[in-house]
């Protein structure tokens, strides 16, 4: 069943309103409503993450696989966080570099702890954590 839409008026200062319209245009939005809804959801995800609620996301890391101890350390860390790792995809980027995309779902603090542990491994060249709603 589709939830009923609720309409409400929003008052903004002229400057903020103009900046918001420019933001909407740059973002390719059709309407202010969709843009506002996205901003609210984004803030909810941030809030959920901060409060340790369940989030979904992806940890992306790039490393040089020639450093064998790096591979072992990364595997150890992932095995220790099996409860929040849904899947991991390994891509051989080039002769030296590997890309790993680790899909996660779990409490914000646990997800952050995993991402921080992977990032801290010597030999990891780049790492990002992207967090989104688990859908609830
Ligand atoms: Ni590889």
* 114 found inside a domain: yes
- Interval between CA 124 and ligand 1 midpoint (Å): 13
Q: Which of 62, 77, 60, 58 minimizes the C-alpha distance to 124? A: 62
* One domain, residues 64 and 88: yes
Q: What is the mean pLDDT of the chain?
A: 93
Task: List CB-based neighbours of ion ligand 1 within 5 Å.
Answer: 65, 92, 98
Q: Which of 58, 60, 67 minimizes the C-alpha distance to 122? A: 67
- Interval between CA 75 and ligand 1 midpoint (Å): 13
pLDDT tens, position by position, 47-69: 888 888 899 999 999 999 988 79
* One domain, residues 81 and 108: yes
- Interval between CA 65 and ligand 1 midpoint (Å): 6
Residues of the domain holding 109 = 54-133
Strand spans (E) along 12-122: 54-64, 85-92, 97-107
- With cut-offs at 50, 70 and 90, classify the pLDDT of residue 39: very high
Q: Provide the domain count of the chain.
A: 2
* One domain, residues 75 and 113: yes
pLDDT at 17: 95
* 72 found inside a domain: yes
- Interval between CA 71 and ligand 1 midpoint (Å): 9
Q: Higher confidence at residue 90 or residue 45?
A: 90
**pLDDT of 18 strictly over 70:** yes
**Residues 127, 119: Cα–Cα separation, whole Å:** 6
* 29 found inside a domain: yes
* One domain, residues 44 and 58: no
pLDDT tens, position by position, 116-131: 999 999 999 999 999 9
């Amino acid at each position: 069943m589709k939830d009923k839409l609720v309409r409400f008026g929003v008052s903004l200062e002229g400057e903020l309103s103009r900046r918001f319209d420019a933001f909407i245009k740059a973002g390719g939005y059709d309407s202010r409503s969709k843009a506002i809804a996205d901003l609210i959801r984004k803030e909810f995800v941030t809030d959920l993450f901060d409060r340790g609620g369940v989030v979904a996301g992806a940890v992306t890391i790039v490393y040089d696989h020639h450093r064998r101890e790096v591979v072992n350390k990364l595997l150890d860390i992932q095995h220790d966080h099996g409860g929040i790792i849904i899947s991991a995809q390994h891509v051989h980027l080039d002769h030296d570099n590997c890309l790993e995309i680790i899909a996660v779902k779990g409490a914000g603090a646990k997800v952050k702890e995993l991402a921080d542990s992977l990032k801290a491994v010597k030999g990891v060249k780049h790492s990002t954590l992207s967090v989104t709603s688990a859908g609830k």
